[in-house]
Amino acid sequence: MYSTNYNQVILVDTNDNEIGVMEKLEAHEKGLLHRAFSIFVFNENKELLLQRRALNKYHSAGLWTNTCCSHQAPGETNLIAGNRRLKEEMGMSCELMPVFHFVYKADLENNLTEYELDHVMIGFSNSQPIINTEEVCDYKWITIEDLIYDLKEHPEHYTVWFNLIFEQHLHQLNTIIEHESLQTRNF
């Protein structure tokens, strides 16, 4: 059974070993490494579903990012957390597949530091989201080509972790998307 305290994050070492839990805002204030996840949902046209973070978010408000991102609750697996937040933020569900993880550290506004071991997962769906306006203020489907262009022209419109994923891991994402049999998926 996992915790229902979704305001806590799981502190980890660089090998993803759990070393404790802490209130989410405190972990960001202290810049401590914690577990997180980022979900990328693609449709049958290989377009990526982006969300624009709500304007009331305590960091990265109003920026575009991947389909869904958040933190695992103590005792919660990556897939359970991913499915929970995808439903809570975007009002949708699909089968998620873990693809890789990476560590990044970045200074944010409000004297916060994002220091995360981020588990990246992908899913496939043609469903249109029903956004939770407390979390998301807009969404769009975009081709990878158009996204790469926009990231180069306007990186400031996107979250730091989203920029890093595309800068450092685009090849991995493209390989996975190309090898998935999109035609046999149940969209």
Q: Give how far the C-alpha of residue 115 lies from the chain's centroid of Cα atoms, to the nearest Å.
A: 14
Neighbours of 178 (CB within 10 A): 9
Helix (H, G, I), strand (E, B) or coil at 136: strand
**Active centre residues (catalytic):** 69, 116
Q: Tell me the DSSP string of 6-62.
A: TTEEEEE-TT--EEEEEEHHHHHHHT--EEEEEEEEE-TT-PEEEEEE-TT-SSSTT
Calpha distance 148→128 (Å, rounded):
23
